[in-house]
Amino acid sequence: MPGLSAAQRQQFEEEGFLVVEDVLDPARDFAPVMDEYRAILDGIADTLYAEGAISSRYEHLPFTERITEICAQSKREFSQFFDFSLPQRGVKFDTPMYTGPAMFRLLANPRLLDVVESVIGPEIYSCPVQHTRMKLPKRAVSNPANGLIAKIPWHQDNGVLMPEADESSILTVWMPFNAATIANGCLQVVPRSHRVGLVDHCPVGGTVAIPDKLVEEERALPLPMQPGSILLMTQRTVHSSLDNVTPDQVRISFDLRFQPIGQPTGRPAFAQAGFVARSAAHPESVISDPAVWSRNWLAVRDQLPADDDPAYNRWRADAAVCA
């Protein structure tokens, strides 16, 4: 069990973030997800081509160039087809989502869980607050408020959760699928910002953000990263991501969250999609079948349309701090 060294653990605790290199092997650990993504994009291209929304299926282009071209030409975006989570509004029985077995295997990757175990201990729950983000070049972004395809404003992950998780120890694990650079929109953090507790957030666009006046932006540290590396953040580390100003790169990333078993996840609406990823005390409770995980997500999707949209955070636009 390699996990983190004592020095790395200490650095994480002091700074509130840590980049750990070479945890994953992109060829072995990411390629199966890309195979599933290619098949999804084939389906999207077929549909759009049949509708006359694109002039070619672009099947000979590499994935990232192909999706950029398809989004730019159709003036639509397809992030939800690749995300292993659901939108916070208007979920329907057929809202697209991705729960392929390759993604489950990545969530349960032993080398990843070894690092997670170093931080939160051996009872590990996969929190259903998780996303694939395909940050498109700005020119191809049809909806800048969609955090799956555009830059993300300053926030703490605690701020995008319900208060039930305020005392939980939710560890964010962010990983680039391809190189994340300053130009294509890597993450940036404010070192040591996790020490001050939960900061006020305000609703903006489809998400929430910390007002500029409460962010020490001059202390921001951009974090270019190579695939295989992972970024660990506490749930109170202040972070954001940059715009993708490249003409044709797509910054693809996964953000996962893990927490000790038994703590609230902060997103009760998705509770059924969480699972025990590792347990020394109760190994029999570990979910290891990708089909079970997929079924649980689809069950969440089946339940949501029946009710009004649930609350996903606590912030109100009419709060004084948001004026």
Ligand X SMILES: O=C(O)CCC(=O)C(=O)O
Q: Which residues bind ligand X (CB under 6 A)?
A: 133, 152, 157, 172, 174, 187, 239, 241, 253, 255
Residue 214 CB, shortest distance to Fe ion, in Å, is: 16
Residue 241 CB, shortest distance to ligand X, in Å, is: 3
154 binds Fe ion (CB under 5 A): no
Whole-angstrom Cα distance, residue 309 to residue 102? 30
201 binds Fe ion (CB under 5 A): no
Among 24, 157, 209, 235, binds Fe ion (CB under 5 A): 157
242 binds Fe ion (CB under 5 A): no
Which partner, ligand X, Fe ion, none, binds residue 156 by CB below 5 to 8 Å per kind?
none
Nearer to ligand X, 79 or 253 (CB): 253
Nearer to Fe ion, 41 or 171 (CB): 171
Whole-angstrom Cα distance, residue 100 to residue 32? 10
Residue 22: CB atoms within 10 A of its CB come to 11
Which partner, ligand X, Fe ion, none, binds residue 133 by CB below 5 to 8 Å per kind?
ligand X
Task: State which amino acid sits at residue 207.
Answer: T
Whole-angstrom Cα distance, residue 70 to residue 48? 9
Burial of 214 (0-12, 13-18, 19+ CB in 10 A): middle
Q: Are the CB atoms for 178 and 64 separated by under 8 Å?
A: yes
Which partner, Fe ion, ligand X, none, binds residue 223 by CB below 5 to 8 Å per kind?
none
Of residues 44, 29, 39, the one with CA closest to residue 80 = 44
Nearer to ligand X, 85 or 241 (CB): 241
